Structure 1
Amino acid sequence: MNRDAQHSEQLISLYGGTTPVRSRWSYRADEPFTVATAFQTDADHWVEWVFARDLLVEGMRGPVGEGDVRLAPEFSGPRDALVMEIESPDGHALLVMDLEAVQDFLDATADLVPLGAEGDFFDVDALIAEITNV
């Protein structure tokens, strides 16, 4: 098991279905339960969101999410898409991404840490040490 393994991809998202937005998707084997995505808002400014990989997996099949991140597949346009709605006290965004590109990213994460095997890669002792500063 390579706990240092990581995978990153850049995807082009569409904000409101019309404006292209560059996004950076990352997954690390030493943080096996989460994915991180960052959206470029200015030339040198990115807004990052971290959420459960399981949420992304479920969002590929149907609508999910009750909090700040909500996902749903969309099969009615010219290309299958994943719609991501993110919300914070600072604002709200609706982003549309190519479903196949997101699936490719998920497949790459599963190559690093198979779905359902996250516990084998999670270092509980390191988390406790980080929380307690021991």
Structure 2
Amino acid sequence: MDRNAEHSEQLISLYGGSTPVLSRWTYRAGEPFTITAAFQTDRDRWVEWVFARDLLVEGLTCPAGEGDVRMRPDFSGGRTMLVLEISSPEGHARLEMEHDAVESFLDATAEIVPLGTESDHFDIDALIEEITNV
């Protein structure tokens, strides 16, 4: 089974001001533990971040993550947002996304691979083959 879920959203990146940033979120049944979030930095350039789906699950309800990717809900200003902070040696970004839209994306991933059943969908033999055929 190789079904995917994709979600695109306009994000707000805060660097002392705000700038719209297009993102593309992808979930693949063949990689059931991870989500890929790609952010458009230029017209033809996307930067991808891969993180655990469990991080997104936790980040929708409480602060989650240590290190390069952190998430937390923000219920201020009359809107419910998900704040995503990503860091790399090149810099740091704080992005705000509509909480409901991200939650809908997570629900779509759970229709493909129900939460807690990721191990049942993970092809360990394919991973071993990929690692050993380098």
Normalising by the residue count of structure 1, what TM-score does the alignment of the two structures yield?
Answer: 0.95
Instruction: Return 5+ residue gaps in structure 2 as ranges.
Output: none
Alignment partner, residue 100 of structure 2: 100
Alignment partner, residue 51 of structure 1: 51
SS of corresponding position for 1:55: helix
Mapping for residues 4-19 of structure 1, pairs under 5 Å: 4-16=2-14, 18-19=18-19
Mapping for residues 5-44 of structure 1, pairs under 5 Å: 5-16=3-14, 18-44=18-44
RMSD: 1.1
SS of corresponding position for 1:103: helix
Q: Percent of pairs identical after alignment?
A: 63
Number of residue-to-residue matches in the alignment: 132
SS of corresponding position for 1:119: helix
SS of corresponding position for 1:79: coil
Q: Which runs of 4+ in 1 moved over 3 A?
A: none
SS of corresponding position for 1:31: coil
**For the residues of structure 2 that align with 1:67 and 1:125, how far apart are their CA atoms?**
30
**For the residues of structure 1 that align with 2:48 and 2:31, how far apart are their CA atoms?**
16
**For the residues of structure 2 that align with 1:95 and 1:54, how far apart are their CA atoms?**
19
Normalising by the residue count of structure 2, what TM-score does the alignment of the two structures yield?
Answer: 0.95
Deviation at 1:78, TM superposition (A): 2.8
Instruction: Return 5+ residue gaps in structure 1 as ranges.
Output: none
Stretch deviating more after TM superposition (71-80 or 97-106):
71-80
Residues 2-59 of structure 1, C-alpha deviations (whole Å, 9 max, x = no match): x211111101110017211100000000000000000111111111000000000000
Deviation at 1:94, TM superposition (A): 0.3
Residues 50-81 of structure 1, C-alpha deviations (whole Å, 9 max, x = no match): 00000000000100111100000000123100
